[in-house]
Chain A
Amino acid sequence: MKKTMLVAGVLAACVALAGSGMAVQTVQVKGSDTLVHLSSAWAEKFMQANPGMEVAVTGGGSGTGISALINGTTDLANASREMKASEKATIEGQGLKVQEYTVALDGIAVIVNPSNPLASLTMEQVKQLYTGQISKWAGVGGGEGKVLLYTRDSSSGTFAFFQEHVLKMKDYSVKSRRLASNSAIVQGVAEDLNAIGYVGLGYVQEAGNKVKVLKISKDASSPAILPSVPTVKDNSYPISRGLFVYAKGEPQGAVKAFVDFMLSAAGQTIVEEMGFVSK
């Protein structure tokens, strides 16, 4: 007798839960680890303003997010790189259009130890350093010593972006040390006199005087530019990128509301707060 009552109670609870679940609209967001903190911050503010809607954010990487979008297991995909043509074609093959939103901008700063006499590099020089073509600082007009390369791990979207746009699709030098996070790179560069590394703009402010940010010029005849919010925004700093959110087909309901929120003035304020550059 007691048992049946228990079962009935559990059943009733399930029904009640299911009922309330129907009232809440859930948005699934998945993808880039660069974007995951920013995305969570958006979700938090968005849910405060819209009690009937729920946003669930997960990382996993740009590639993972886009595959999930293709498979229909997420509503929105975060990506710190542009969608590949092959990925776009797959979605279009399903009869749906790819919607791309540039939700924020990011600059990648090249950093060296504060004791390094160098002040600027050209894109070509950065490439030569990172591919191992030049292995001594003297080769780029710097001081003594062998260049110690720090990069992110190959799973990082920043690693891939840097490889595509700075290394011009060449492979990284096999001697480059692969570190697991932006802060590990800052730590390494701060400690090792001959080190060079690259990190997202947000981490430069955090690092303060522990590292020196290099000015970068597009080519030998262009001016060297220091990465900053204005120079990333006007695209004069050469290593800038967009951060994207992708949807499959025209967003509806809660998904549309969330996209609109990210692009709104309130959403873009959060971008600045999280150390990225608003568009």
Chain B
Amino acid sequence: MGEIKLTPEGNMAVSKEWENWMGGIAAQNKLVSPGMRLGNEGRTVKPGNVVTNGPYAEIKEIIGGLSIFRAESIEEATEMAKSCPILNVGGNVEVRDIIQMNG
């Protein structure tokens, strides 16, 4: 899919949706970090110190953001992901657990 273009009103509405979604998770005391939204510009560094413009040029999808929730299982986390506003504008949500690194 291509870039998600939104009108200013659309932007405001989406912002509100995001805030409500995050707020709802936070109200359950399951928000570890609202995380961040990632920009569309950037760089890719490959082995041999090769640097190219833009993120992941070969992949059609781009990671728009990252948030960290707390859940008892991947199933619960997946349920929480189902109300993510990105789904309303053609996006996907990847749900993965965080691997704790000890020591």
A and B associate in one complex: no
Q: Which residues of A contact B (CB under 8 A)?
A: none
Q: Which residues of B contact A (CB under 8 A)?
A: none
